[in-house]
């Protein structure tokens, strides 16, 4: 199974930049999108279907904000919108797709960039999500949790760890949450295969950050330890450019 996670920063904007043509190249079997910024009636479902993918989307109540989607060539046995937490579900942050005994969670973690109130909510969301996944693992041990985590885990994952140490996305408490996440039985699939620096998934749209590769690695496909032996290949795809993020890729030998 080939899986991609991709924050498209607005699906309609991505379509204008060639997203559908890219889909037609068959980049993966399952593609998880974050920040679709579109209600169901605005989502380009027909175009995506014509490119070979069935679509399951979960939008935020607020128009043009957040939202997640799963595009898949493999029929899921079940799809669930949300994780049962009121504010998270109102913001369209989590969608679950089951493929038999395999459970895929596609999540768009909150950002704290707009101020203290949202940073406080980010910490609340992280705590709630950790508990949600912990409960889920008791019945679904084979878990894939992908998405835009909005957190760089280590200094190697950010172009300037010293100057960014007090910025949301690289704060000590956020990084400590990631430590706890991986210590509790999850594998960072990209780092499982690739230990090299200067590997990023998001770049600021200012000052030529992408051209100069001054980025942050904040997008992940993580798997529970029960799937560690199935890991075959993982990579970041910076050459794919429909967004200020790029896709991340995982191949599992199931």
Q: What is the enclosing helix (H) or strand (E) of 116?
A: helix 116-139
Q: Which of 148, 157, 188, 219 is catalytic?
A: 148
| Interatomic CA distance for residues 218 and 154, integer angstroms | 10
Count other Cβ atoms within 10 Å, centred on residue 84: 10
Count other Cβ atoms within 10 Å, centred on residue 204: 13
Beta-carbon contacts of residue 131 (< 8 Å; ≥ 6 apart): none
Q: Are 26 and 6 in contact (CB under 8 A)?
A: no
Structure tokens at 245: 């993020």
Q: Are 204 and 113 in contact (CB under 8 A)?
A: no
Indicate if 244 belongs to the active site.
no
Count other Cβ atoms within 10 Å, centred on residue 35: 26
Count other Cβ atoms within 10 Å, centred on residue 143: 21
As annotated, the active-site residues are 148
């Amino acid at each position: 199974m080939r899986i991609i996670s991709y924050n498209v920063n607005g699906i309609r904007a991505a379509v204008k930049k060639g997203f559908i043509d890219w889909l037609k190249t068959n980049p993966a079997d399952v593609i998880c999108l974050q920040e679709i910024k579109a209600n169901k009636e605005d989502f380009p479902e027909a175009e995506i279907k014509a490119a070979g993918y069935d679509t399951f989307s979960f939008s935020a109540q607020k128009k043009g904000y957040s939202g997640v989607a799963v595009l898949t060539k493999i029929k899921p046995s079940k799809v669930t919108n949300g994780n049962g937490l009121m504010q998270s579900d109102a913001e369209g942050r989590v969608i679950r797709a089951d493929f038999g005994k395999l459970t895929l969670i596609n999540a768009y973690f909150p950002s704290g960039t707009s101020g203290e109130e949202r940073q406080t909510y980010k910490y609340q969301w992280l705590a709630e999500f950790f508990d949600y996944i912990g409960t889920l693992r008791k019945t679904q041990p084979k878990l894939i949790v992908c998405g835009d985590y909005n957190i760089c885990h280590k200094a190697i994952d950010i172009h300037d760890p010293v100057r960014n140490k007090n910025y949301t996305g690289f704060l000590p408490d956020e990084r400590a949450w990631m430590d706890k996440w991986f210590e509790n039985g999850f594998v960072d699939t990209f780092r499982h295969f690739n230990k090299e620096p200067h590997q990023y998934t998001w770049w600021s749209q200012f000052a030529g950050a992408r051209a100069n590769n001054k980025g942050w690695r904040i997008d992940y496909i993580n798997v529970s330890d029960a799937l560690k032996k199935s890991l075959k290949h993982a990579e970041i795809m910076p050459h794919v450019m429909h967004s200020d993020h790029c896709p991340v890729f995982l191949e599992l030998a199931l």
